Structure 1
């Protein structure tokens, strides 16, 4: 009894509580406690049970607090009864909810989004309408997800999705990243127009190389809306070329979305911002894109501005 009273005193829970005999009676009538004592009846003496009353009470109080959404001793942990060297102890283990939350946090840490739309963070293929225009593309993306192995010696190409505005190209890339994260695979998604502006600003702070390193080496890279950035020979040759050359040599899967087909993108990159024609440099860049990705055209309704 002293053990019970001492425990309750520590918790500041004696005021307004029934007497110790009633508390003890409630403990022994508890279904979880009864099952525990029955399971360990060969290990526990009457003296061990008497000394373990405070542990049994702690177990009940913590369990019931969780059920009733009240303050608990250890958030994210749930109590369980154990026998150790003939003594009854309360141990705490992570709840299923806490395990799921931690798993979700780890999964989300595998997705690096650089200036991408907010809805991409929750994109899933299960929420993507399987229209005739998307069917082949989604099939190829799912095939990639199912077959991709980080340490495989067999190179797996990414996809280059060309098509008009609002047909779901970016959303499908977000779904790709989320599905890959379920398999523990890291993906970086980059909005190319915004990134091009940011990396030009990095020249002043001498941080261009630092901004390139993580993108060059990420296991899976998505370059979203390539060709929509301001036309710049420097960005083409010193940024995109550096990234794509490295990923080609290392055979790192790379995905693209664009309003241009690959042929149209080549014509776009052939014109510098100074009005020069640089066909050879554009062709060299496009050769790397063709090595890294298979081209698919995505058509359909504009879901941003449906008519």
Structure 2
């Protein structure tokens, strides 16, 4: 019985030999393999080449799997051949696509978006129509991006964009964020009405200071739709004033969008939820905004509801 089994095993081995030879022929006729062996012929004797057959096969299989979009041993890595101490080895390095994807992931991690519209993730100045109403603002934003450095000895003033609904103020801030993040700069965009609601909720969980710290210390801050929040003396004095006071003293770039100009925003903040006139506190807040940002009026058609 044992002899019979041995005979079968021998026949199976004999049947595999032609397949093995065919595989070897394919390996050594591969143009990249031939080129590699030619370049390194002074380093590789016939025995080393023979021992490296499995490495050459791995290289070909991994390379072709990528070309044919099949499953691969190391996704995101590209195989290559090299000689080390007289042995043929397959090494893997990141593909250009993987490098670009990683760079993009790192860039996106620099943008902190708090309750902002989804479309700002893809916002770009190239997608903005350079209308007469937008031209000066877009140029100012581009100038800021080109000139900005994290050098604390140089103050870079932000912009306060006022204007009607749907003219692209928030989208411009998204374009600013996407462009400045390509320089490796961190930026935070905050929708003020939603933020004001969340800050009130944070009182019960004792997280007001924690949330404030993240916002006030960010290298570049965008306060979007300021003035659209519910009137609140507490939010004005304990949240916005704290943020703006810190950023004014530290000279940190701060941007704003609003449906109100400076005078209208001052009126908004001069009345608390109980209709108490607090003009002085409102003026102090507006003075800090004036210090942090230059006001620009943005007009145009309403892109949310074009007529």
TM-score class, shorter-chain normalisation, is over 0.9
Equivalent residue number for residue 69 of structure 2:
69
Q: How many residues align?
A: 293
Instruction: Go from structure 1 to structure 2 and tell me whether the alpha carbon gap of 1:18 and 1:210 turns closer, same or farther (over 3 Å shift).
Output: farther
CA distance in 1, matches of 2:17, 2:112: 53
Q: Which runs of 4+ in 1 moved over 4 A?
A: 15-18
CA distance in 2, matches of 1:45, 1:17: 24
| Residue aligned with 2:203, SS | coil
Residue 42 of structure 1 and its aligned partner are, at CA, apart by: 1.5
CA distance in 1, matches of 2:208, 2:163: 31
Instruction: Go from structure 1 to structure 2 and tell me whether the alpha carbon gap of 1:300 and 1:17 turns closer, same or farther (over 3 Å shift).
Output: farther
Residue 34 of structure 1 and its aligned partner are, at CA, apart by: 1.2
Taking only aligned residues, the RMSD between alpha carbons, in angstroms, comes to: 1.3
Equivalent residue number for residue 88 of structure 2:
88
Q: Which stretches in structure 2 are left out of the alignment for 5+ residues?
A: 1-14
After superposition, where does 1:53-68 map in structure 2 within 5 Å? Answer: 53-68=53-68
| Residue aligned with 1:189, SS | strand
Equivalent residue number for residue 258 of structure 1:
258
Q: Deviations over 1:69-127 (max 9, x none)?
A: 11111111111101001110001111111111111111100000000001011101111
Equivalent residue number for residue 202 of structure 1:
202
Residue 35 of structure 1 and its aligned partner are, at CA, apart by: 1.3
CA distance in 1, matches of 2:128, 2:48: 60
After superposition, where does 1:158-177 map in structure 2 within 5 Å? Answer: 158-177=158-177
2:286 paired with 1:274: no
Equivalent residue number for residue 108 of structure 2:
108
Equivalent residue number for residue 243 of structure 1:
243
Q: Deviations over 1:227-251 (max 9, x none)?
A: 0000000000000000000000111
| Residue aligned with 2:240, SS | helix
Equivalent residue number for residue 301 of structure 2:
301
Residue 17 of structure 1 and its aligned partner are, at CA, apart by: 10
| Residue aligned with 1:155, SS | coil
| Residue aligned with 1:194, SS | helix
| Residue aligned with 1:256, SS | strand
Equivalent residue number for residue 141 of structure 2:
141
Equivalent residue number for residue 157 of structure 1:
157
Q: Deviations over 1:1-56 (max 9, x none)?
A: xxxxxxxxxxxxxx999611111111111111111111112211111111101100
After superposition, where does 1:177-216 map in structure 2 within 5 Å? Answer: 177-216=177-216
Equivalent residue number for residue 41 of structure 1:
41
2:123 paired with 1:123: yes
Q: Which of the two has higher C-alpha Rg?
A: 2
2:218 paired with 1:225: no
CA distance in 2, matches of 1:170, 1:120: 8
Residue 171 of structure 1 and its aligned partner are, at CA, apart by: 0.1
CA distance in 2, matches of 1:115, 1:267: 26
CA distance in 2, matches of 1:132, 1:17: 77
Residue 152 of structure 1 and its aligned partner are, at CA, apart by: 4.3
CA distance in 2, matches of 1:127, 1:35: 47
Relative to the length of structure 1, the TM-score reads 0.93
CA distance in 1, matches of 2:250, 2:116: 25
Q: Which stretches in structure 1 are left out of the alignment for 5+ residues?
A: 1-14
